Amino acid sequence: MMKMNNLISLIALSENDKRIIIALVIVFVLLFVLIGLIGMLVTKIMKQQGKAIDRLMHDIVVTGVVSDKKHFKKVAKKKSWRYLYKQARIPIIIALVATLFLLIYYLASGNWDANIFGDWGAPDGEGGKGFATLLFLWDFENCPTTQIFGITVISDWPALLNSPHFSVDAWGSYIFVPLIITSIIWFFIVVQAFIARSFRIRKLAAQIYDKSLDDYNQTKALLGDNNSNLNNH
């Protein structure tokens, strides 16, 4: 009986509801496609970042100084750690400079409780000591809603709480927040490169030092086929 009721309610959809459902499906499909494309971009970037190991290890490998898998991994890991440290110096220095600015701001203002992120000068938008003074803020807590298939969804734009305005009291957050966000994003890119290099080390160690008979054909080798593995060594 419940299933019949649900079926009847589906059949009873109005044209507007059907349009909304189709639009939502298209939006979700496009969203997934966009996420897939971004993921492909990230994978491509990581492959490029992993190539740094090739550059670092090339001379050592081609001259035969490193001749086994374990030694290769050990030296490559050492070089990767050094490279990580070299790359991570800049975002860490930026973070330290940002923290220094914040410290100077707290000392100058004397207000150690200031919310440097979210203080937009409620309730009238005047003053404010946070970075939120530069952002559009909407009242999502009290926005109008409606029910669709038992799910509560927003039905209209919420009220605007704050529009961007400049506040002299928030000068510390204007310096600290952009610097710290830059530093965090930069650091995560460096970590991504480190992960990419780790994967590349594992792949290269197997590729260079593992013996494989995948492409070996004994008949061709005996007949002197130029494409056989034996002739290529």
Partner 1 sequence: MISFFKSLGRGILYVVGLPFLLAFVAIYAVFSFFIIAFMFFKAVVLFFMGRSLFDELEEDKKAKEVLANIANRNQPVAPNYVGNAAMNQVMPQSNNYQPQNAYVSQNNNPEQNIQNNNYNQSQNYQNQTYNEPQNYQSNNYDQTQNLQNEVHDEPRIQDAYKKPIENNQSLNNFEQDVQIHEQDDSTVINIEAGDDEDE
User: 7 or 34, CB closer to partner 1?
Assistant: 34
> Smallest distance, Å, CB 89 to partner 1?
8
> Smallest distance, Å, CB 172 to partner 1?
25
> Smallest distance, Å, CB 33 to partner 1?
5
Nearest to 187 by CA among 88, 94, 41, 79: 88
Q: Which DSSP state fits 103?
A: H
3-state percent helix, strand, coil for the chain, nearest multiple of 5: 65, 5, 25
> Smallest distance, Å, CB 233 to partner 1?
13
User: 46 or 122, CB closer to partner 1?
Assistant: 46
With beta carbons less than 8 A apart as the criterion, state whether 76 and 56 touch: yes
Distance between start and end Cα atoms, the chain: 74
User: 33 or 160, CB closer to partner 1?
Assistant: 33
Torsion-angle region of residue 113: left (phi > 0), alpha (psi -120 to 50) or beta? Answer: alpha
User: 67 or 146, CB closer to partner 1?
Assistant: 67
CA–CA distance from 194 to each of 46, 77, 114, 118 (Å)?
9, 10, 36, 33
> Smallest distance, Å, CB 35 to partner 1?
4
User: 92 or 221, CB closer to partner 1?
Assistant: 92
Binding site for partner 1 (CB under 8 A): 29, 31-40, 59-60, 63-66, 75, 78-79, 81-82, 84-86, 88, 92, 187-188, 190-192, 194-195
